[in-house]
Copies of this chain bind each other. A is one copy, B any other.
Amino acid sequence: MLEDKPSRTELSEIGEFGLIELLTKNISLRNKSSVKGVGDDAAVIDYGDKQTLITKDLLIEGVHFDLTYVPLKHLGYKAVVVNLSDIVAMNGTPKQVIVGIGASNRFSVEAIEEIYKGIYLACDKYNVDIVGGDTVSSVSGLVISITAVGEANKEDIIFRNTAKKGDLLFVSGDLGAAYAGLLLLEREKATFKADPNMQPDLDGYDYILGRQLKPEARTDVLELLKKTGVKPTSMIDISDGLASEMLHLCHDSDLGGAIYEDKIPIDITTAGVAEEFNIDPTTCAMNGGEDYELLFTISQNDYEKLKGVDGLSVIGHMSEKNEGVNLISRSGTYVPIEAQGWNAFFKK
Protein backbone atom coordinates (compact mmCIF):
# COMPACT_ATOMS: atom_id res chain seq x y z
CA MET A 1 0.00 0.00 0.00
CA LEU A 2 2.83 2.34 0.84
CA GLU A 3 4.60 1.53 -2.40
CA ASP A 4 1.81 3.20 -4.39
CA LYS A 5 2.51 6.64 -2.99
CA PRO A 6 3.84 9.09 -5.56
CA SER A 7 6.41 10.53 -3.18
CA ARG A 8 8.21 9.26 -0.14
CA THR A 9 9.87 11.50 2.42
CA GLU A 10 11.96 9.71 4.99
CA LEU A 11 11.06 10.58 8.56
CA SER A 12 14.74 11.35 9.15
CA GLU A 13 14.64 14.02 6.45
CA ILE A 14 12.22 16.27 8.29
CA GLY A 15 13.00 15.21 11.85
CA GLU A 16 10.72 15.06 14.86
CA PHE A 17 9.92 18.76 15.05
CA GLY A 18 9.38 18.96 11.31
CA LEU A 19 6.92 16.10 11.51
CA ILE A 20 5.02 17.60 14.44
CA GLU A 21 4.85 20.92 12.56
CA LEU A 22 3.62 19.16 9.43
CA LEU A 23 0.98 17.17 11.25
CA THR A 24 -0.33 19.91 13.50
CA LYS A 25 -0.22 23.04 11.35
CA ASN A 26 -3.83 22.60 10.21
CA ILE A 27 -5.31 22.04 13.64
CA SER A 28 -7.77 24.68 14.76
CA LEU A 29 -9.62 24.41 18.07
CA ARG A 30 -13.40 24.37 17.99
CA ASN A 31 -14.40 23.73 21.58
CA LYS A 32 -14.50 26.56 24.08
CA SER A 33 -13.07 24.19 26.68
CA SER A 34 -9.93 23.67 24.57
CA VAL A 35 -7.87 26.49 26.10
CA LYS A 36 -4.52 25.33 24.78
CA GLY A 37 -3.85 22.59 22.27
CA VAL A 38 -0.61 21.27 20.82
CA GLY A 39 2.56 23.29 21.24
CA ASP A 40 3.17 23.28 24.99
CA ASP A 41 4.09 20.71 27.60
CA ALA A 42 0.46 19.83 28.19
CA ALA A 43 -2.96 20.61 26.82
CA VAL A 44 -5.20 22.89 28.88
CA ILE A 45 -8.85 22.02 29.14
CA ASP A 46 -11.36 24.10 31.03
CA TYR A 47 -14.56 22.46 32.15
CA GLY A 48 -16.11 24.87 34.55
CA ASP A 49 -18.70 22.84 36.41
CA LYS A 50 -18.72 19.89 34.04
CA GLN A 51 -16.97 16.64 34.82
CA THR A 52 -14.07 15.44 32.75
CA LEU A 53 -13.95 11.94 31.25
CA ILE A 54 -10.65 10.51 30.07
CA THR A 55 -9.88 7.25 28.32
CA LYS A 56 -7.03 5.79 26.31
CA ASP A 57 -6.39 2.88 24.01
CA LEU A 58 -3.17 1.49 22.64
CA LEU A 59 -3.31 -0.08 19.16
CA ILE A 60 -0.37 -2.22 18.09
CA GLU A 61 0.43 -3.47 14.60
CA GLY A 62 0.15 -7.22 14.23
CA VAL A 63 -2.13 -7.41 17.26
CA HIS A 64 -4.93 -4.88 16.78
CA PHE A 65 -4.56 -4.29 13.06
CA ASP A 66 -2.92 -5.77 9.99
CA LEU A 67 -1.66 -3.24 7.47
CA THR A 68 -1.90 -5.71 4.62
CA TYR A 69 -5.62 -5.01 4.50
CA VAL A 70 -6.29 -2.00 6.71
CA PRO A 71 -5.73 1.29 4.86
CA LEU A 72 -3.77 3.76 7.02
CA LYS A 73 -6.50 6.38 6.80
CA HIS A 74 -9.08 3.93 8.10
CA LEU A 75 -6.68 2.98 10.86
CA GLY A 76 -6.38 6.58 12.00
CA TYR A 77 -10.15 6.98 11.89
CA LYS A 78 -10.77 3.81 13.86
CA ALA A 79 -8.08 4.60 16.45
CA VAL A 80 -9.97 7.79 17.32
CA VAL A 81 -13.45 6.28 17.17
CA VAL A 82 -12.73 3.38 19.55
CA ASN A 83 -11.68 5.95 22.15
CA LEU A 84 -14.65 8.23 21.54
CA SER A 85 -16.85 5.18 21.96
CA ASP A 86 -15.55 4.81 25.53
CA ILE A 87 -16.57 8.40 26.30
CA VAL A 88 -19.98 7.80 24.72
CA ALA A 89 -20.39 4.65 26.84
CA MET A 90 -20.23 6.92 29.91
CA ASN A 91 -22.98 9.11 28.38
CA GLY A 92 -20.40 11.83 27.82
CA THR A 93 -19.64 14.14 24.91
CA PRO A 94 -16.18 13.62 23.36
CA LYS A 95 -14.29 16.92 23.17
CA GLN A 96 -10.55 16.37 22.76
CA VAL A 97 -8.03 13.75 21.73
CA ILE A 98 -4.27 13.48 22.22
CA VAL A 99 -2.48 11.39 19.65
CA GLY A 100 0.69 9.34 20.18
CA ILE A 101 2.26 7.49 17.26
CA GLY A 102 5.32 5.26 17.28
CA ALA A 103 6.54 4.37 13.79
CA SER A 104 9.63 2.65 12.48
CA ASN A 105 11.55 3.97 9.48
CA ARG A 106 9.56 1.51 7.36
CA PHE A 107 6.94 4.28 7.41
CA SER A 108 7.31 7.39 5.30
CA VAL A 109 6.11 10.85 6.26
CA GLU A 110 3.30 10.35 3.75
CA ALA A 111 2.23 7.19 5.56
CA ILE A 112 2.01 9.03 8.89
CA GLU A 113 0.12 11.84 7.18
CA GLU A 114 -2.32 9.29 5.82
CA ILE A 115 -3.00 8.05 9.36
CA TYR A 116 -3.50 11.65 10.44
CA LYS A 117 -5.97 12.21 7.59
CA GLY A 118 -8.14 9.52 9.13
CA ILE A 119 -7.65 11.06 12.58
CA TYR A 120 -8.71 14.48 11.25
CA LEU A 121 -11.72 12.96 9.52
CA ALA A 122 -12.94 11.34 12.74
CA CYS A 123 -12.33 14.53 14.70
CA ASP A 124 -14.29 16.54 12.14
CA LYS A 125 -17.17 14.11 12.19
CA TYR A 126 -17.38 14.04 15.99
CA ASN A 127 -16.50 17.71 16.51
CA VAL A 128 -13.47 16.83 18.58
CA ASP A 129 -10.22 18.83 18.98
CA ILE A 130 -6.73 17.39 18.66
CA VAL A 131 -4.99 19.03 21.62
CA GLY A 132 -1.71 17.15 21.68
CA GLY A 133 0.47 14.85 19.70
CA ASP A 134 3.65 12.91 20.14
CA THR A 135 5.26 11.06 17.24
CA VAL A 136 8.27 8.95 18.09
CA SER A 137 10.40 6.34 16.46
CA SER A 138 9.78 2.64 17.02
CA VAL A 139 12.16 -0.21 16.31
CA SER A 140 9.59 -2.25 14.47
CA GLY A 141 5.99 -1.73 13.54
CA LEU A 142 3.40 0.88 14.25
CA VAL A 143 1.89 1.82 17.59
CA ILE A 144 -1.00 4.24 17.96
CA SER A 145 -1.97 5.51 21.38
CA ILE A 146 -4.96 7.81 21.65
CA THR A 147 -6.25 9.54 24.76
CA ALA A 148 -9.77 10.91 24.50
CA VAL A 149 -11.26 13.51 26.83
CA GLY A 150 -14.95 14.20 27.17
CA GLU A 151 -17.37 16.07 29.35
CA ALA A 152 -20.63 15.34 31.09
CA ASN A 153 -22.80 16.78 33.80
CA LYS A 154 -22.24 14.86 37.00
CA GLU A 155 -25.81 13.59 37.10
CA ASP A 156 -25.70 12.33 33.50
CA ILE A 157 -22.71 10.00 33.75
CA ILE A 158 -23.62 6.34 33.42
CA PHE A 159 -21.39 3.72 35.03
CA ARG A 160 -21.14 -0.04 34.64
CA ASN A 161 -21.87 -0.92 38.23
CA THR A 162 -25.31 0.62 38.69
CA ALA A 163 -27.65 -1.88 36.99
CA LYS A 164 -30.49 -3.14 39.19
CA LYS A 165 -32.17 -6.51 39.48
CA GLY A 166 -35.03 -6.75 37.01
CA ASP A 167 -33.62 -4.10 34.67
CA LEU A 168 -34.04 -4.78 30.97
CA LEU A 169 -30.97 -5.22 28.77
CA PHE A 170 -30.83 -3.29 25.49
CA VAL A 171 -28.33 -3.13 22.68
CA SER A 172 -28.05 -0.65 19.81
CA GLY A 173 -27.60 -1.62 16.15
CA ASP A 174 -26.57 -5.14 15.27
CA LEU A 175 -23.74 -7.37 16.41
CA GLY A 176 -21.10 -9.65 14.93
CA ALA A 177 -20.67 -7.72 11.68
CA ALA A 178 -17.21 -6.37 12.52
CA TYR A 179 -15.99 -9.89 13.22
CA ALA A 180 -17.55 -11.19 10.00
CA GLY A 181 -15.70 -8.40 8.18
CA LEU A 182 -12.46 -9.50 9.79
CA LEU A 183 -13.03 -13.11 8.70
CA LEU A 184 -13.47 -11.94 5.10
CA LEU A 185 -10.37 -9.75 5.16
CA GLU A 186 -8.29 -12.55 6.66
CA ARG A 187 -9.50 -14.90 3.94
CA GLU A 188 -8.64 -12.42 1.20
CA LYS A 189 -5.19 -11.99 2.70
CA ALA A 190 -4.62 -15.77 2.64
CA THR A 191 -5.89 -15.95 -0.94
CA PHE A 192 -3.63 -13.10 -1.99
CA LYS A 193 -0.63 -14.75 -0.35
CA ALA A 194 -1.32 -17.97 -2.24
CA ASP A 195 -1.78 -16.18 -5.55
CA PRO A 196 -0.91 -12.47 -5.72
CA ASN A 197 -2.71 -12.18 -9.08
CA MET A 198 -6.09 -12.99 -7.55
CA GLN A 199 -8.45 -10.04 -7.34
CA PRO A 200 -10.20 -9.56 -4.01
CA ASP A 201 -13.75 -10.86 -4.05
CA LEU A 202 -15.48 -8.51 -1.66
CA ASP A 203 -18.54 -7.46 -3.70
CA GLY A 204 -21.75 -7.25 -1.70
CA TYR A 205 -19.89 -7.18 1.59
CA ASP A 206 -19.69 -3.38 1.94
CA TYR A 207 -21.72 -3.28 5.13
CA ILE A 208 -19.69 -5.74 7.17
CA LEU A 209 -16.35 -4.53 5.77
CA GLY A 210 -17.34 -1.02 6.81
CA ARG A 211 -18.21 -2.29 10.27
CA GLN A 212 -14.68 -3.69 10.62
CA LEU A 213 -12.71 -0.95 8.91
CA LYS A 214 -14.68 2.17 9.78
CA PRO A 215 -16.67 1.72 12.99
CA GLU A 216 -18.60 4.61 14.50
CA ALA A 217 -19.13 5.78 18.07
CA ARG A 218 -22.88 5.82 18.77
CA THR A 219 -23.32 9.45 19.76
CA ASP A 220 -26.61 9.26 17.86
CA VAL A 221 -27.90 6.63 20.29
CA LEU A 222 -27.23 9.00 23.19
CA GLU A 223 -29.28 11.65 21.36
CA LEU A 224 -32.06 9.14 20.80
CA LEU A 225 -32.12 8.16 24.47
CA LYS A 226 -32.19 11.80 25.48
CA LYS A 227 -35.19 12.40 23.22
CA THR A 228 -37.11 9.50 24.72
CA GLY A 229 -36.28 10.76 28.20
CA VAL A 230 -34.75 7.45 29.26
CA LYS A 231 -31.51 7.39 31.24
CA PRO A 232 -29.99 3.90 31.25
CA THR A 233 -29.14 2.49 34.68
CA SER A 234 -25.80 1.15 33.39
CA MET A 235 -23.96 1.21 30.08
CA ILE A 236 -20.87 -0.14 28.31
CA ASP A 237 -19.68 -0.20 24.71
CA ILE A 238 -19.15 -3.48 22.93
CA SER A 239 -15.49 -3.63 22.06
CA ASP A 240 -14.69 -7.19 23.17
CA GLY A 241 -17.98 -8.92 22.28
CA LEU A 242 -21.41 -9.16 23.90
CA ALA A 243 -20.36 -12.00 26.25
CA SER A 244 -17.48 -10.09 27.76
CA GLU A 245 -19.42 -6.82 28.16
CA MET A 246 -22.44 -8.58 29.71
CA LEU A 247 -20.09 -10.17 32.25
CA HIS A 248 -18.69 -6.73 33.04
CA LEU A 249 -22.16 -5.25 33.66
CA CYS A 250 -23.23 -8.22 35.82
CA HIS A 251 -19.96 -8.54 37.73
CA ASP A 252 -19.61 -4.83 38.42
CA SER A 253 -23.29 -4.47 39.43
CA ASP A 254 -23.10 -7.65 41.53
CA LEU A 255 -25.96 -9.24 39.60
CA GLY A 256 -26.79 -12.18 37.38
CA GLY A 257 -28.47 -11.82 34.04
CA ALA A 258 -29.79 -13.49 30.92
CA ILE A 259 -29.54 -12.84 27.20
CA TYR A 260 -32.05 -14.46 24.83
CA GLU A 261 -30.22 -15.84 21.80
CA ASP A 262 -33.16 -15.22 19.48
CA LYS A 263 -33.31 -11.55 20.47
CA ILE A 264 -29.69 -10.72 19.53
CA PRO A 265 -29.79 -8.42 16.48
CA ILE A 266 -27.65 -9.86 13.69
CA ASP A 267 -27.57 -8.45 10.16
CA ILE A 268 -28.44 -10.88 7.38
CA THR A 269 -25.03 -10.35 5.70
CA THR A 270 -23.30 -11.22 8.95
CA ALA A 271 -25.34 -14.41 9.25
CA GLY A 272 -24.50 -15.30 5.64
CA VAL A 273 -20.75 -14.83 6.11
CA ALA A 274 -20.84 -16.75 9.40
CA GLU A 275 -22.49 -19.60 7.55
CA GLU A 276 -19.82 -19.50 4.80
CA PHE A 277 -17.19 -19.86 7.50
CA ASN A 278 -19.12 -22.52 9.39
CA ILE A 279 -19.39 -20.32 12.46
CA ASP A 280 -22.56 -19.86 14.49
CA PRO A 281 -23.71 -16.21 13.96
CA THR A 282 -24.44 -16.05 17.71
CA THR A 283 -20.74 -16.76 18.33
CA CYS A 284 -19.82 -13.80 16.10
CA ALA A 285 -22.09 -11.56 18.20
CA MET A 286 -21.10 -12.97 21.59
CA ASN A 287 -17.34 -13.22 21.08
CA GLY A 288 -16.45 -11.28 17.94
CA GLY A 289 -16.11 -7.80 19.36
CA GLU A 290 -15.29 -4.46 17.73
CA ASP A 291 -18.94 -3.61 17.03
CA TYR A 292 -18.78 -0.49 19.25
CA GLU A 293 -22.53 -0.67 19.84
CA LEU A 294 -23.91 0.34 23.22
CA LEU A 295 -25.10 -2.28 25.71
CA PHE A 296 -27.25 -0.78 28.45
CA THR A 297 -29.84 -1.55 31.06
CA ILE A 298 -33.02 0.39 31.79
CA SER A 299 -35.62 0.26 34.53
CA GLN A 300 -38.72 -1.77 33.57
CA ASN A 301 -40.73 1.42 34.10
CA ASP A 302 -39.02 2.92 31.07
CA TYR A 303 -39.76 0.02 28.77
CA GLU A 304 -42.79 1.61 27.07
CA LYS A 305 -40.65 4.61 26.07
CA LEU A 306 -38.08 2.49 24.23
CA LYS A 307 -40.35 -0.28 22.96
CA GLY A 308 -40.29 -0.35 19.18
CA VAL A 309 -37.69 2.42 18.86
CA ASP A 310 -35.82 1.78 15.62
CA GLY A 311 -32.23 0.63 16.10
CA LEU A 312 -32.61 -0.52 19.70
CA SER A 313 -33.29 -4.13 20.74
CA VAL A 314 -34.24 -5.56 24.10
CA ILE A 315 -32.21 -8.75 24.45
CA GLY A 316 -32.41 -9.79 28.10
CA HIS A 317 -32.61 -8.75 31.71
CA MET A 318 -30.65 -8.55 34.96
CA SER A 319 -31.36 -10.94 37.83
CA GLU A 320 -30.07 -12.09 41.22
CA LYS A 321 -26.37 -12.86 41.30
CA ASN A 322 -26.93 -16.50 42.27
CA GLU A 323 -28.86 -17.11 39.04
CA GLY A 324 -25.59 -16.65 37.13
CA VAL A 325 -25.07 -15.03 33.75
CA ASN A 326 -26.66 -17.10 31.00
CA LEU A 327 -27.42 -17.21 27.33
CA ILE A 328 -30.88 -18.70 26.82
CA SER A 329 -30.66 -20.61 23.55
CA ARG A 330 -33.41 -20.86 20.96
CA SER A 331 -34.34 -24.24 22.42
CA GLY A 332 -34.62 -22.75 25.91
CA THR A 333 -31.37 -24.18 27.30
CA TYR A 334 -29.44 -22.05 29.79
CA VAL A 335 -25.79 -21.78 28.72
CA PRO A 336 -23.46 -20.02 31.17
CA ILE A 337 -21.76 -17.07 29.51
CA GLU A 338 -18.01 -17.22 29.83
CA ALA A 339 -15.33 -14.66 29.10
CA GLN A 340 -14.28 -15.89 25.70
CA GLY A 341 -14.16 -12.37 24.38
CA TRP A 342 -11.26 -11.00 22.50
CA ASN A 343 -8.28 -11.63 24.71
CA ALA A 344 -5.18 -9.69 23.91
CA PHE A 345 -2.86 -12.37 25.20
CA PHE A 346 -4.43 -15.32 23.48
CA LYS A 347 -4.48 -13.62 20.13
CA LYS A 348 -1.09 -13.95 18.53
Contact of A252 among B39, B61, B136, B159 (CB under 8 A): B39
Q: How far apart are A14's CB and chain B's nearest CB, in angstroms?
A: 8
Q: Check A35 against B54 for contact (C-beta < 8 Å).
A: no
- From B15, B47, B131, A47 is in contact (CB under 8 Å) with B47
Closest to A19 in B: B345
Interface centre among A46, A55, A132 (most CB of B within 10 A): A55
Q: A16 contacts which of B85, B138, B236, B344 (Cβ < 8 Å)?
A: B344
Q: How many residues of chain A have a CB within 8 Å of chain B?
A: 74
For this chain, the copies found in one complex come to 2
Which residues in window 153-208 of A have CB below 8 A to B? 154, 157, 159-161
Instruction: Tell me which of B35, B60, B62, B87 contacts A51 (CB under 8 A).
Output: B35
A251-276 to B contact mask, C-beta < 8 Å, 1/0: 01000000000000000000000000
How far does the Cβ of A188 sit from chain B's closest Cβ, in whole Å?
21
* Chain B residue at smallest Cβ distance from A101: B58
Say whether, besides A16-B345, A138-B60, A132 and B54 are in contact (CB < 8 Å). yes
**Which residues of chain B come closer than 8 Å to A118, judged between CB atoms?**
none
CB-contact partner of A12 in B16, B92, B136, B345, under 8 A: B345
A135 and B40 contact, Cβ closer than 8 Å, known pairs A58-B145, A60-B102, A143-B58: no
Q: A57-B134, A102-B60 are in contact. Are A45 and B41 (CB under 8 A)?
A: no
Give the shortest distance, in Å, between A113 (CB) and chain B (any CB): 15
